A and B are shown apart, each in its own frame.
Chain A
């Protein structure tokens, strides 16, 4: 049972390069999320997707694009990487049931460490 799988785990990019972070979940969850984590900033929401075919901006969407390819997969793309995008990126998913502990639990991937030089 893999849960939430994201790749790559580590990546170094040069300023201006592009890359896509891949994420897949095998729990049949409806909602998927991309967060970035920086020291002292907590987890900041980049984009989220309530269901296949829908995406919405989070708190810090600038410089990113996402695709909800199907119910399982939610990718994050950096079109022109900048040093300010150096961070740890977490993909997450949630079943999305009202007032249910299991339905509200957000399951996180292991994180992707991205460095932009």
Chain B
């Protein structure tokens, strides 16, 4: 079945540094979503991508929909302490429009 892989699994960075993380799959997705989850809460949508090659920004966050439709990337520029959390990619399955599956997440820690 479909499965998403995220790397790195965790990151420890200094405040002000840029962050890059990615998400890959062996299956094709027609929508990529990036979520952030903070402790004790449900995930919150950050960016949605709909077309191969699409590059979308949301403040300091930028995400790209891979050309092959099997991967996506999220970059965070000039990290700040409130960026701490778990970042999940999620993909909408090509063959089943409503089925949305999530990757295992990248845990981000920012050292002030």
The chain A residues found within 8 Å of chain B, CB to CB, are 31, 33, 35, 40-45, 48-50, 56, 58-59, 90, 92, 94, 96, 99, 101, 104-111
**A56 in contact with B48 given A41-B104, A42-B88, A90-B42 (CB within 8 Å):** no
Cβ of B31 < 8 Å from any Cβ of A?
yes
Whether A48 lies near B104 (C-beta < 8 A) is no
The residue on B at minimum CB distance from A31 is: B98
Most A C-beta atoms less than 10 A away, residue of B2, B90, B100, B101: B100
B: residues with CB less than 8 A from A are 1-2, 4, 6, 9, 31, 33, 35, 40-45, 48, 50, 88, 90, 92, 96-105
> How many Å lie between the Cα of A106 and that of B101 in the bound state?
11
Interface of A is mostly: strand
The reply to whether A42 and B42 contact each other, CB–CB distance below 8 Å, is no
Partner of B31, one of A40, A48, A104: A104
CB contact under 8 A between A96 and B98, given known A43-B88, A104-B48: yes
Selected from B43, B44, B99, the residue in CB contact (under 8 A) with A58 is B99
CB-based contact B99/A110 at 8 Å:
no
Q: A43-B88, A104-B33, A104-B48 are in contact. Are A58 and B41 (CB under 8 A)?
A: no
Q: Is the CB of A101 within 8 A of B48?
A: yes
For the complex, what is the distance from the CA of A48 to the CA of B101, rounded to whole Å?
A: 11
In angstroms, Cα B67 to Cα A110, docked, is 35
Q: Which residues of B contact A31 (CB under 8 A)?
A: 98
Q: How far is the CA of A108 from the CA of B100 in the complex (A)?
A: 13
Instruction: Give the CA-CA distance A1 to B92 in the complex, in Å.
Output: 27
| A54 nearest in chain B by CB position | B98
Q: How far is the CA of A107 from the CA of B48 in the complex (A)?
A: 14
